[in-house]
Structures are given as structure tokens and as C-alpha cells.
């Protein structure tokens, strides 16, 4: 028994796996999953993503939203769309995202899960992240609109910089 509002039934993780299984059995050409690993232990989350990866390898389109994936999970994804405040900050191979952000001057200063680093950037958080010189130039000391308490650029300024950098990259690639 799966359960419902009045009957306990299976756990939340089991219910999630049953729902994913039901969708897979239908064999859709597009499988869209919102947080398929949320609430699952790390082993089950990894197995779930591996199954979804196998489905994608078989020619189906699989799209997931995910937050806080482990490093192992992050590296299972082929493509990545990173959004910040609804704006596109990166679209491309997940395996190339760290290199891209490095080319625009944003690199982790400590060992960090790539997904955690990318989510920090998307939220405008540059703690433990190098600050590009172009971004430092935009910070006006003492101006609360451009600077945070720790002297780092404000999230709004970081967001503006990341959007501009990505749009410049796209424009340059379209010229080729």
C-alpha cells in the first residue's frame, strides 16, 4: 500500500521511487523530474540518477531539477543549465562548467563540491570564491548597493557580472 493523507503506507523516499518507476514504465519520450533525489539517502540517490542516465543514453530526454547533489551525482549529469534570478548563467556540458567559471575569474578558494560552488555563484555568494578583477572594479567601498559587510561584491553585482559574462560568451560563439 502506497498510502495517502490518512494511511501511513510507505516512506517518502519509497513513494518517490514508486512515482519515478510509474513514469518510467509509461515510456515517455520526455521525462521531467522535479528533485528526484530529494529525501533519498546517498546510495539510493546515486542509483536513481544512474537509472535516469541509462534512460537518457537509450535516447530519451531526461530533465531534472536538483539542488545539493553530491559530487558523485553532479558528475553523472551530461548537461547543465544554471539559472540565477531567472537569468541564464551557464548552459553546456556539466563537466565543463567549472572550467567556464574559471575563465571568467570565479574559482573556489577551497576544495568544494562543484554543485555547491555553482549554487553559491547562482545566489551571488562569493565567500570562498575568487573575485574577478572586473567585478572588484564594480565595488564602490562603503556603498551598500555594491558591497557586502565582508567587502565582497553584493549578490546583485555578482549576478549582473555573471549574466554579462555568459551573454558575451554566447555572442562570441555565435560570431564563429
Asked whether residue 48 falls in the same domain as residue 106, the answer is no
Position with higher pLDDT, 143 vs 63: 63
CA distances from 91 to 35, 46, 69, 80, 166 (A): 19, 23, 18, 6, 9
Range of the domain at 20: 1-77
**Structural domains counted in the chain:** 2
Would you state the cell numbers that stand for residue 90, as one nine-digit string? 551557464
Q: What predicted TM-score, i.e. pTM, was given to this entire model?
A: 0.81
| Tens-digit pLDDT profile for residues 51-71 | 999 999 999 999 999 888 899
In whole angstroms, give the CA distance from residue 83 to residue 99. 17
Query: Across the chain, how many H-helices and E-strands are there?
Result: 7, 4
Quickly state the pLDDT bin for 109 (edges 50, 70, 90): very high
Answer yes or no: is 9 within a domain.
Answer: yes
Asked whether residue 174 falls in the same domain as residue 92, the answer is yes
Residue 174 has a pLDDT of: 83
Residue 135 has a pLDDT of: 82
Quickly state the pLDDT bin for 1 (edges 50, 70, 90): low
Burial of 174 from C-beta contacts in 10 A (0-12 / 13-18 / 19+): exposed
Q: Which of 77, 101, 117 is the last residue of a domain?
A: 77
Asked whether residue 18 falls in the same domain as residue 58, the answer is yes
- For the chain, how many residues are written? 176
In whole angstroms, give the CA distance from residue 138 to residue 63. 36
Map grid coordinates 553532479 to a residue.
Answer: 74
Amino acid at each position: 500500500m502506497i498510502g495517502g493523507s490518512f494511511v501511513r503506507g510507505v516512506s517518502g523516499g519509497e513513494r518517490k521511487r514508486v512515482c519515478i518507476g510509474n513514469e518510467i514504465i509509461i515510456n515517455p519520450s520526455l521525462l521531467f523530474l522535479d528533485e528526484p533525489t530529494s529525501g533519498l539517502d546517498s546510495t539510493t540517490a546515486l542509483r536513481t540518477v544512474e537509472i535516469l542516465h541509462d534512460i537518457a543514453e537509450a535516447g530519451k530526454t531526461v530533465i531534472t531539477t536538483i539542488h545539493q547533489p553530491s559530487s558523485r551525482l553532479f558528475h553523472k549529469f551530461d548537461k547543465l543549465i544554471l539559472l540565477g534570478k531567472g537569468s541564464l548563467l551557464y548552459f553546456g556540458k556539466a563537466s565543463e562548467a567549472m572550467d567556464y567559471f574559471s575563465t571568467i575569474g570565479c574559482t573556489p578558494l577551497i576544495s568544494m563540491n562543484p554543485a555547491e560552488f555553482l549554487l553559491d555563484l547562482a545566489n551571488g555568494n562569493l565567500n570562498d570564491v575568487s573575485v574577478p578583477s572586473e567585478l572588484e572594479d564594480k565595488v564602490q567601498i562603503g556603498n551598500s548597493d555594491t558591497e557586502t559587510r565582508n567587502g565582497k561584491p553584493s549578490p546583485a553585482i555578482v549576478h549582473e557580472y555573471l549574466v554579462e559574462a555568459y551573454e558575451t560568451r554566447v555572442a562570441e560563439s555565435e560570431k564563429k
